[in-house]
Amino acid sequence: MKTSTILSAFLLLQPSLTMPLQPRGIKNSLKCAKVNVIQQFTAPWSLQRISATAPVTQNGRANEELSYKYRYTELDDGEGVEVYIVDTGIDVDHPEFGGRARNAISTFDDDLEENSGHGTQIAGAVGSLHYGVAKNVSLVGIKVFSPLFDTKNPAALIANITSGIESAILLHNARKANKNFKGSVMNLGFGFPKELFEAAGNGGIMKKMLEKAVKDGMHVTVAAGDRGKDACEVFPAGFVKDVPGIIVVGATDVFDKRLKNSDFGACVDLHAPGGDIVSTTLKGVNGGVKKDSGTFLAAGLVTGVIAGEIAKNANLRMDPVGMKRLVKDKALKGILRGAEGGGDLLLYTGMPGNPYEEFV
Ligand SMILES: *[C@@H]1O[C@H](CO)[C@@H](O)[C@H](O)[C@H]1NC(C)=O
Ligand SMILES: *[C@@H]1O[C@H](CO)[C@@H](O)[C@H](O)[C@H]1NC(C)=O
């Protein structure tokens, strides 16, 4: 499908999005025991891949086509879970978020505006109506990257990120006392080389902050990095050696092959789709839809799956280590090609079976 087709499809669905929040192309078709199985037949390939055991059959369809099938249950929609996206902020008025997104903090004391689209892409993979895993999660932007940022000052970069992580922990801890607290996931969709951390000299404080996040019962998903090198040499991913409760995610393509640029090795816990992923971007750009590749998008999918698992496993709500074990146990084994010494596991929600595919 050409981008223009995606664009017009998007524009067509905007009016309906302002009314009831039922995504287009989604229907409750099967009743399975007590839980409704919902099928979205307008999904990106990534959502089909994580909800099926079989590889994606394209039958001539392009990667960006929105005719793949995502199957989930109403228990997987992440309702009540807060996801802290530490990044560039979120375009919170994007209709794909149906009012579930807000920007909480900017470490730059600016207007909280998302200027890049990167944070909105992640938010879309986590929980947008059409491209997201958990379609009713609450998305919270924590802005730590800004065009205002002085790139010659790595210490300020690390300080901003660390401060953003701390803000997310404070928001998480403040919600714990609520009777209907459901848990939190923090998404770190970036990575910087070891040299930058060494030059900055304050990386140890960020590591301590991640230790605190895990100790305080917050699930943390981290992008492996996109340099095609050892993920242990990229941070925050490399902190997993000392903070094993965080989950480091590499990226695969539609053929279940590791992306060439996806960082690899012992610090990668598992892989998720990350090549040619359709998601949201700034609503004023290209109709608010963008196809892109990277471990930041793969990490977003894992974040969405964890948000869904929290509802089904109340005992793991505040147990990041137990949740990590569950996500790795459920993942598909021995399918991935090119894992290169770590994380030979492919994200899987555990939805039984495969979608019925009919081609004419
Ligand atoms: C999200 O959950 C609320 C409360 O249960 C419900 O009213 C709303 O319809 C749900 N929205 C979506 C998109 O499922
Ligand atoms: C974020 O970085 C800027 C420099 O670009 C710096 O002025 C500011 O103090 C930093 N904010 C925090 C909270 O560290």
Burial string for 21-44 (b: 16+ CB within 10 Å, else e) reads eebbbbeeeeeeeeeebbbbbbbb
In angstroms, what CA-CA distances link 210 with 124, 169, 186? 24, 9, 10
pTM confidence score: 0.92
For the chain, give every domain's residue range. Answer: 2-12+74-346
Strand partners, 169: none
| DSSP conformation letters of 256-316 | SBB-TTS-BSTT--EEEE-SSEEEE--TTSGGGEEEE-SHHHHHHHHHHHHHHHHHH-GGG
State if residue 107 touches ligand 2 by the CB under 6 angstroms criterion. Answer: yes
Looking at the CA of residue 74, tell me the nearest atom of ligand 1: 14
Ligand nearest to the CA of 143: 2
Burial, 111: exposed, middle or buried (Cβ in 10 Å; 0-12, 13-18, 19+)?
exposed
From atom 9 of ligand 2, which residue's Cα is the shortest distance away? 156
Q: Which ligand is nearest to the CA of 150?
A: 2
- Residues flanking ligand 1, CB < 6 Å: 21, 77, 79, 98, 135-136
What's the CATH code, domain 2-12+74-346?
3.40.50.200
Using the atom order of ligand 1, give the atom closest to the CA of residue 135.
13
Task: Tokens for 223, please give them.
Answer: 């992008």
- Helix, strand, coil % over all residues of the chain, rounded to 5: 35, 20, 45
Of 65, 61, 156, 174, whose CA–CA distance to 107 is shortest?
156
Indicate which ligand has the atom closest to the C-alpha of 163: 2
| CA 249 – CA 295 distance, rounded (Å) | 7
Which ligand has its closest atom nearest to the C-alpha of 100?
1
| Atom of ligand 1 minimally distant from the CA of 20 | 9
Q: How far is the CA of 67 from the centre of ligand 2 (A)?
A: 43
For residue 163, how far is its CA from the centre of ligand 2 (angstroms)?
A: 9
Three-state SS across 114-141? CCCCHHHHHHHHHHCCCCCCCCCCEEEE
In the numeric block, which tokens belong to residue 347? Answer: 């994200």
- Under a CB-based contact definition with an 8 Å cutoff, are residues 118 and 87 in contact? yes
- Residue in the structure block whose two tokens are 């242990």: 232
Q: Which of 79, 96, 138, 139 to mutate to test the pocket of ligand 1 (most atoms within 8 A of CB)?
A: 79
CA-angle at 119, arms to 101 and 8, nearest 5°: 80
Q: For residues 304 and 125, is the Cβ–Cβ distance under 8 A?
A: yes
Q: How far apart are the first and last CA of the chain?
A: 17
Contact indicator for 83, 127 with CB cutoff of 8 Å? yes
pLDDT at 338: 92
Ranges under pLDDT 50 in the chain = 1-21, 32
Instruction: Tell me the CA–centroid distance for residue 107 and ligand 2, in Å.
Output: 7
The dihedral over CA atoms of 292, 253, 243, 199, expressed in degrees to the nearest 10, equals -50
Residue 296 C-alpha to ligand 2 middle, in angstroms? 23
Q: Can you name the residues that pair with 333 across neighbouring β-strands?
A: 345
Distance 151 CA to ligand 2 centre (A): 11
Given ligand 2 and candidates 86, 105, 107, 109, which is best to mutate, with the most ligand atoms within 8 Å of its CB? 107
What contacts 249, CB < 8 A, 6 or more positions away? Answer: 221, 222, 223, 224, 268, 269, 270, 271, 272, 295, 298, 299, 301, 302, 347
